[in-house]
A and B are shown apart, each in its own frame.
Chain A
Amino acid sequence: MRIGVDVGGTFTDLVLLAKGRLTVHKVLSTPSDPSQAVLAAVAQTGVPMSDVRQFAHGTTVTVNAVIQRGGAPTGLLTTKGFRDVLQIRRTTRGALYDFQWDPPQELVQRRWRREVPERIDASGEVTRPPDLGAAIAEARALVGEGVSSLAICFINSYLNGENEHVVRAALAEIMPDLPIYVSSDILPEWREFERTSTTVVSAYVGPVLTEYLHRLESALRAQGYGYDLLIMLANGGLATAAAANERPAYTIGSGPAAGVLAQLALGLASDAEPIPAPGSRKASMTNIIGMDIGGTSTDISLVHDGSPYLRSDFELEFGTPVSYPVIEINSIGAGGGTIAWLDAGAMLHMGPQSAGADPGPACMQRGGTEPTLTDANVVLHRLNPAFLLDGAIPLSEDAARRAVAAVGDPLGLDVVTMADGIRRLAVSSIVFAIRQRTVERGLDPREFVIVGYGGAGPLHATEVADEMGITTVLIPPNPGVTSALGLLLTDIRHDFVTTFLKLRAEVEPAEVGAAYDLLAEQARAHLVAEGVDADRVQMEYAMDMRYVGQTHELRLNLPGPYDDEMHECIPRLFGELHQAEFGHAPELGEPLDFVNLRVAGIGKLDRPELPEIPEGGRAAPHAHREVFFGGADGWVSTPIYHRGDLGHGDRIQGPAIIEQLDSTTVITPGWTAEPDRVGSLILRHG
């Protein structure tokens, strides 16, 4: 038996895989202590914890600690002369033309950023050993002022962590209970601001995570769970609680990353063929545009040829990077709770303000009065106008109509036209955001399928697809719990990096290989400590490099370990990557600068088979309702299906609506829906 639990802002989702069957549980989140909702969901399953062999968990405690500024009071020791690296950042302004703009408050206020005389030069030599007396005095003063977690980040420590480690050792001796996070362990990569920020975020959220995981793990153990508690990381892998505590910032953004893994697993498991879009060369179930529409935002991700895009420039909020390689997800402010409003010049806008879960859309009658996308969907009857979640949340169509009319009246639009307008505007903003992502990557969206999930993704997926010329859409079996499902479909993973900074022409292959071996050893040691068998360990190698003179490096995934043959192949492989990324590449002999070496240590877990659904033949609408489809269609009497009544081989012609506990799928006219082998709905047009 396996359990995946993903904590979200509103709901905590649990997916249980037992005896080849998936079951889903949804409970309200408990923000003050998220473990309560986790345990409540566990209790709902009725499964004894002693029968569970894997418990995987996606948590938001770290991201919330930053957003709500609820982390540990944190101090920072820097090299003398560099106290303000954290605050100056890269000097960028968040709003180019706005005199009222301010950067967010730094996680360590200036008074708690203290300097230590020490220095390492740009070749990695210690030119000044740390003044331990000064370091101890500063740390003592900080603790005296209430600091309970400490970050250390010295200039050039990416080349040599000695000074940081010497200071840590001296402090640990006299302050053994003070958690200390040093940058050369957290992220030994050049660029002092990004490394400092990552280290500070770690120190700020680390104690919160440690305490939370301890509490949850103890509770699970008390109920008889006998294995490691596995925590989802934003790189798409799992880690034991102990490993997660070592690099706590890796847990930030892990829930959405799990969703991307689930998309890919569903694409791979599907027996459906996508329809090639007119004019495109191919479409494939492993080219995926992920569209997760939640209450406040839409998360967009891309999987190309079966690989999610990774990036290292993730910013938790403006000017707060966490520079680990993580699955790339772009958020825009368009969700079910996003508010439609008129500006002073009577122009209609959507968001970025959201009614969120509190006060929520007007139709929920919990205090919200402004019109949201959800209200529009209620007015149009795309959502059941009476209730959501099988009746758990009653809705008021009248309240939705009143809210929508409030923006429609000044524009002279009737309530239905206005509601349809809100829907069109939301769809178009999602379309524009997806277009920008694909243009940025040089990809043709028509070669992709859309996976629509989150509570509201399946409501709008076909319309987004229509606008982009995409003809195939996949709706996961349980769209509202896709991230929780992803937790069951991945491996243990740890990424390690070292900044190498040597020209290819000036190194022997053996030297590069030896540097990779060190990283691989580190990764292997981690995995072994986590109980992974040696024959289940795999290594993935990558290198950030650039042509000499370029300012930015590009990451090349290496097809295997670094040896003589790899050394020879690198210029060709990098040239191909450069061509694919930028549309041009220099001659083969162009000198290359090797910047960062990367190793991902992967501990393969048993992947469960996704259960197959029964054959169809029972599909029949349980009701009809009038639904507004706009354009020439207008109001159409539309059959309403229960998702659970559909089986493999059934085929439903749009217009139709398919309802289930956690989501509503709209099949617009011209589209068909067919459940695939594992229960994903495959929507096709044309």
Chain B
Amino acid sequence: MDPITLSVISNGFKSIVNEMNLALFRSAYSPVITEGRDIGGAVIDRHGRLVAQGDWDLAVFVALLEFSLKGVLARFDGDIAPGDVFIMNDPFVGGTHFNDVGVVRPVFDGDELTAFVAVCGHWADVGGQEPGSFVANAREHFQEGLRIPPMKLYIAGEPNLAVFDIIEANMRISSERLGDVRAQVGSTRVGEQRLVELAGKYGWDQVTGAMDEAIAHAERLLRSEITKIPDGRFKGEDHVDMESLDRPIPKKVALELTIDGDSMHFDFTGSDPESLSASNSTYSSTASAVYVTVKSLFPEIPMNHGVFEPIRITAPEHTIVNALPPRAISSMAATVYEKVIGAALMALSEAIPEQAVGTPYNLINLTIGGRYRDSDFVAYLFSEGGFGGRATKDGPPGLVSLYGGGAKITPVEVMERRYPIAFEEWALWPDSGGAGRYRGGVGSRKTFRIVDTSVRLSCLGDREYYPPAGVLGGEPGAKHGLIRNLGTAAEENLTLKVVGYPLQDGDTVTILAGGGGGYGDPLDRDPALVAEDVIQGYVTVGHAAERYGVAVDESGEIAAGETERLRASLRKGKTQ
């Protein structure tokens, strides 16, 4: 096809997804969508292959939408008509956790199915045992809310009221959830209109031809990148600290990566059996974590089905990377998902050292609930942390997790005004970045105090025992943590898997979100960079001596002879 028209139509696909998302931001109810931008939209071809995402979409969702489409096609192929709209949130078919609800609309040329548009959004609640539907110690997914297998929300343009009624009957503040459904349906209508307009201008043959070509183009780009990687087998592994507080069993994610010519095989055989808590991932989430990692290493390659083609994934059933019903999955994001990324980064670091990065910090989500000024409240607080060191530069500090995508944190001044808490500290955490030739970005440390009331505290988090790993000789970032009354006689380790812990007026809580893993041997780091880190306060004098073998004072003055001596002795210690 004409290469100009191809470029114009390809840009059109991306713009269509952006427009769908903007329409969704405008009209959705869940703040996680409107403010957190926890959404993903896509144009998908008639075979169910992902064609394009937009500028704000979480790659997490976008990869999943293709699995969702497979579910729709498996159930409804041959029974898809103009005006139908599908809904689903089933992680065992293609999804993350029940909160992420996908809406899919088929697009037609007359009677002929030509494409799909889809949009996925994080609903604030989908029912289940706890408000917000995250239940770290759930035994079965039945505790985590409503499971919606692919079904028709609209049948030939008419609402399927039974589905609306079931949603309304099973979720908290259900009027808002119905608002979210309507917003998502409206958003796919925008996508359908724009796609039809595009076809009106260029013809469906050109539009579907451009879909094929966009996919082939991404596949070509990724295969050419993989070809540059030497063939071989590379191992990676990472661990979830424990299933849950009442099941303190660590869980391993094991990976063997095979690079063969222009394709990659991620084989998770050897990973631990599925958890009897919510620390599990389904096949589609595991695949999504692999795609996200590869995408983050090769950011220029457009995200579509072409990226999936050169990647084969093996994840044995009934392991934590491919849990099956009735297992619970709501802790996936904070546990297994991040470990799949960690294992993949470790394996890839051996294969492509120039693109390798230390593992980023792990998502931490805190929920604080109680009564304040005569009404119930639930406050959410996530924590930012550091990303890994890279081949030519340090990792960036204090950012939202990879999974958290475009989320913006709520300011101190808003939190203090709205909830009975007062912050004492919210700052970068010196020495928390993994030491390395290039340091991991430092994490953050927040302390808040409970004011004039009592509350209950729950947390989704990980990496108290298995910190973010360094690569190629780099050291791990700091272990994460959640501590009550730090530095007092009443100090207590609450742990990052705490559920419903009661806190009293005056108690403080400190969240320690670590830094990323380092890149390369810290003893190879330029002492001048270590001195600059000391001046800027990213690294303390003690840490500089201990981890980097650099003798430097507070003012950044380096003692050269002492540094040489320190480094020699540290090197000796390492080789022994």
Residues of A within 8 A of B (CB): 81-85, 87-93, 95-103, 109-111, 121-122, 155-156, 158, 190-193, 343-349, 411, 413, 417-418, 420-421, 424-425, 428-429, 432, 435-436, 439-440, 442, 501, 550-552, 581-584
Contact = CB atoms under 8 A, between A and B. Distances in A.
Contacts of A581: 26
Interface string B86-103: 000000000000000000
Nearest to B223: A345
6 contacts: A93-B405, A99-B390, A101-B396, A122-B417, A190-B413, A418-B4
A149 to B, nearest CB: 20
A440 B20 CA distance: 10
A102 B406 contact: no
Interface string B49-66: 000000010110000000
Contacts of B157: none
Interface string B379-402: 000101001101001001111101
B190 interface: yes
B413 A345 contact: no
B536 interface: yes
Nearest to B419: A122
Given A88-B398, A99-B297, A347 B10 contact: yes
A214 B423 CA distance: 43
Given A122-B413, A551-B34, A583-B27, 9 more contacts: A84-B426, A97-B292, A97-B303, A99-B297, A193-B411, A348-B7, A436-B18, A439-B19, A584-B179
A315 to B, nearest CB: 12
A583 B190 CA distance: 14
A15 B48 CA distance: 58
A93 B7 contact: no
Nearest 6 Cβ contacts at the A-B interface: A421-B4, A432-B15, A98-B299, A81-B425, A122-B416, A91-B384
A436 B4 CA distance: 22
B398 A429 contact: no
Nearest to B219: A345
B19 A436 contact: yes
Interface of B: 3-4, 6-8, 10-12, 14-15, 18-19, 22-23, 25-27, 31, 34-35, 56, 58-59, 179, 186, 190, 217-218, 220-221, 224, 292, 295-297, 299-300, 303, 355, 357, 382, 384, 387-388, 390, 393, 396-400, 402, 404-414, 416-417, 422-428, 444, 447, 535-538
B220 A345 contact: yes
Interface SS of chain A: loop
B22 A436 contact: yes
B413 A156 contact: yes
A494 B224 CA distance: 57
Contact of B58 (A96, A109, A413, A442): A96
B400 A93 contact: yes
Nearest to B404: A91
Contact of B3 (A101, A156, A344, A413): A413
A51 B462 CA distance: 73
Contacts of A82: 412, 423, 425-427
Nearest to B303: A97
Nearest to A433: B15
A551 B7 contact: no
B423 A552 contact: no
A343 B221 contact: yes
A424 B4 contact: yes
B221 to A, nearest CB: 5
A425 B23 contact: no
Contacts of A583: 26-27, 186
Nearest to B360: A99
Contacts of A83: 427-428
A111 B26 contact: no
Contact of B416 (A121, A432, A584): A121
Contacts of B31: 550-552
Given A101-B396, A191-B414, A552 B35 contact: yes
Contacts of A90: 408-409, 411
A109 B538 CA distance: 12
B178 to A, nearest CB: 11
A475 B568 CA distance: 73
A348 B4 contact: yes
A122 B416 CA distance: 6
A584 B447 CA distance: 39
A413 B572 CA distance: 64
B413 A155 contact: yes
A439 B22 contact: yes
A581 B413 CA distance: 27
Nearest to A440: B22
Contact of A347 (B27, B217, B535): B217
A82 B428 CA distance: 9
Contact of A191 (B7, B23, B382, B413): B413
A551 B35 contact: yes
A79 B204 CA distance: 60
Contacts of A191: 411, 413-414
A93 B404 CA distance: 10
Contacts of A96: 56, 58-59, 405-406
A445 to B, nearest CB: 12
Given A97-B296, A190-B411, A583-B26, A501 B179 contact: no
Contacts of A92: 399-400, 406-408
A95 B417 CA distance: 31
A429 B423 contact: no
A110 B537 contact: yes
A85 B428 CA distance: 9
A99 B538 CA distance: 20
A91 B398 contact: yes
A102 B393 contact: yes
A91 B11 contact: no
A428 B5 CA distance: 10
* Best-surrounded residue of B382, B388, B417, B536 (most CB of chain A within 10 A): B417
- Which interface residue of B14, B411, B444 has the most chain A CB atoms within 10 A? B411
Contacts of A424: 4, 8
A435 B217 CA distance: 26
Contacts of B407: 91-92
Contacts of A411: 3
A88 B446 CA distance: 12
A91 B399 contact: yes
A434 to B, nearest CB: 10
A428 B34 contact: no
B15 A343 contact: no
